[in-house]
Amino acid sequence: MKAYIFRLASTYLSARQDNRFINFISLISVIGITLGITVLLTVLSIMNGFQFELRERILGMTSHMSLFEDNNQLHRWQEIRPLLLKNQAIISAAPNINGQALISYGKEVKGILVKGIEPELEKQVSQLNSYLSEGELNSLQPNAFNIILGAELANHLGVEKGDKITLITPQVGGGIVGSLPRLRRFVISGIINVGMHQYDSAFALIHLQDAAKFYRMEDKVSQLQLKLKNLFEVNQTAKSLTTVLPNKGKGYFFLTWQQQHNNFFQAIQLEKRIMFIIIALIIAVAAFNIVSTMVMVVNEKKSTIAILRTQGATQKEMILLFFSQGILIGLLGTFLGIIIGTLFSLNIDIIVPAIETFFEIQFFPADVYYISTVPSDLQLQDIIWVATFSFLSSILATIYPAWRASSIQPSEILRHQC
């Protein structure tokens, strides 16, 4: 392979008085590829960041897997828990009682989700303790009837730590005057701030025993939460645990985090794929601008091609000459796009707040989106996919111009110029 081929390819891209328009089109192609890759990498990084942040926050509030029986209840959880912990895949297990209630303070009434927990056991399966902005998880003691509220819920009610609120359960109880909903006074002992609107605006924690009394669960719980060593092996672990349960697991059900939030995470993954396809079209359009650039170069350099052919250059060398020129454009745009896209993705936490401050806007309001900040998670596989797509698009765009250059007949070109 002769070195002059690559020297000519780079020369054809250099600025000269007689080919400024071609150089301008080449520059547009490079800029288009660069911008396309920059946008694509930034969008993919943000999508990855959202997926990671949501998974971490959701799993920080829940567990990797839950065990329950019919009617979303679980009997004899004290006997079942030691059996499950014998499995090496299980790190810990904690019971909880989940229920709906109305919370009342003054004239404000709001529907919320209530979760009854054992504080020490809950710390082993979730990250609730790390989200507390006021108070401690251990403030939830049996028969103390303390409660921890979500930050937005507390702001909505206008309450703070130490205030008393009333919980009202929709489950009615019999009395002298007939059926009435049960209610109980609780003292606010803490505020939890998860950073997700669905939890911060309608979520409360109480002690497991207080929840059992409030919802009349007696010795039952809603479920047993399980934390696994590998959260992506929940299905295999669930199958292995059925052998240690009473009646070989008959009548028991496992709900994994993937099943519980399956539609949600699938929607994110689908959106990521669609965004990749849509923005990849920008790269494809920019890459195929190379076709027009190369065709104009071939038309302009017909005489040069004819002279090279008469001096012994083969058709393969002509193909390689213009093929190299198109590849240089593609490689330059791809390289610049990856560099700029990487810088944008790694500094998105600085760029977005600066834009929001300058234009006085908020891209992700907390009351609309799960996360109010813009996370970013740049992954090597995304860089490889984007770079490969861009490079292949550049190769495809150079096939026709290179073939056209190789099919030029030197005798016809030189005869017309004589």
Q: DSSP per residue over 181-204, as a string? A: EEEEEEEEEEEE--S-HHHHTSEE
More confident residue, 236 or 195: 236
- Res. 171: pLDDT tops 90: no
Residue 405: its pLDDT value, please? 65
pLDDT level of residue 15 (50, 70, 90 thresholds): very low
More confident residue, 104 or 296: 104
208 burial via Cβ count (<10 Å: 0-12, 13-18, 19+): buried
Following CA atoms 118, 91, 100, 111 in sequence, which dihedral angle do they give, to the nearest 10 degrees? 100
CB 331 within 8 A of CB 394: yes
Measured over the CA atoms of residue 235, residue 240, residue 242 and residue 246, the dihedral's sign is negative
pLDDT level of residue 187 (50, 70, 90 thresholds): very high
pLDDT level of residue 255 (50, 70, 90 thresholds): confident
394 burial via Cβ count (<10 Å: 0-12, 13-18, 19+): buried
Find which of 41-55, 99-113, 289-303, 364-378 is predicted with most confidence, using mean pLDDT: 99-113
Rounded mean pLDDT, 360-384: 73
Residue 94: its pLDDT value, please? 92
Following CA atoms 344, 346, 351, 356 in sequence, which dihedral angle do they give, to the nearest 10 degrees? 110
Residue 27: its pLDDT value, please? 78
What average pLDDT does the chain have?
Answer: 80
pLDDT level of residue 352 (50, 70, 90 thresholds): confident
**Domain limits of the chain?**
4-56+264-417, 70-251
Residue 277: its pLDDT value, please? 82
72 token code pair: 């979303």
316 token code pair: 């393969």
pLDDT level of residue 211 (50, 70, 90 thresholds): very high
CB 302 within 8 A of CB 411: no
CB 69 within 8 A of CB 75: yes
Q: Is beta strand 146-150 parallel, antiparallel or unpaired with respect to 180-192?
A: parallel
Kindly report the pTM of this predicted structure: 0.64
